[in-house]
Amino acid sequence: MSSITVTTWSLEQTSADDLIPATEPSGDVRIVRSEVPSPEFSRFLYTAVGGDIRWTDRLALSYAEWQEHLDRPGTETWVAYDRGTPAGYVELESQEDGSVEIVYFGLVPSFRGRRIGGHLLSYVTARAWDLAGRWPGIAPTKRVWLHTCSKDGEHAMANYQRRGFRLFDTKVEEEEDVRTPGPWPGA
């Protein structure tokens, strides 16, 4: 099997004041927290968003492993809907040190380029900063961070930086080149 060189960038905000909100897109775009942990729905979002950009790290998880992950206190899934259709999602994960990681963020390919991504990232970053208010026993957020890589969408890094995220680490690694999941790229 062949390999590819992947650059991974880690970015952060260290204050809620760092967030630079995007303009809301026109039309009927809504962002809703998926409050009932559902492995089926989460796997659908994961493959629909990440299929064409080679997200594969969670594909081998069993149903029970998905459920266990989603049931952890401080883990939230937020979904953007365009006229009732899932357009993208963000998964947040609270960490013991007061950090909240944006573990996954992205749009379904057919919804990219419609100005939904900046709005979704802005909205959910604000929810990362107030996450402790929804989860008793979770430490108040001191930092929101994420990583993106050279396999992600071409506008990902610019979107993060426009929302006020700052680069704090860069890594370059060789990874196995894998085919996209699903019956067609992006499915």
Residue 187 lies in a domain: no
- In this structure, the number of other CB atoms found within 10 A of the CB of residue 83 comes to 9
Q: How far apart are CA 28 and CA 107, in angstroms?
A: 16
Residue keyed to tokens 């998964």: 91
- In this structure, the number of other CB atoms found within 10 A of the CB of residue 32 comes to 11
CATH number at residue 15: 3.40.630.30
Residue 45 lies in a domain: yes
Range of the domain at 60: 3-176
Indicate whether this model's pTM tops 0.85: yes
Per-residue pLDDT of the chain (187 residues; tens, 9 = 90+): 688 899 999 999 999 999 999 999 999 999 999 999 999 999 999 999 988 887 888 888 899 999 999 999 999 999 999 999 999 999 999 999 999 999 999 999 999 989 999 999 999 999 999 999 999 999 999 999 999 998 887 889 999 999 999 999 999 999 887 766 554 444 4
Residue 184 lies in a domain: no
What angle separates helix 39-50 from helix 63-70, to the nearest 10 degrees?
A: 100
Largest interatomic CA distance in the chain: 47
Q: Based on the structure, what is the number of domains in the chain?
A: 1
Beta bridge partners of 100: 94, 144
Residue keyed to tokens 């909240």: 100
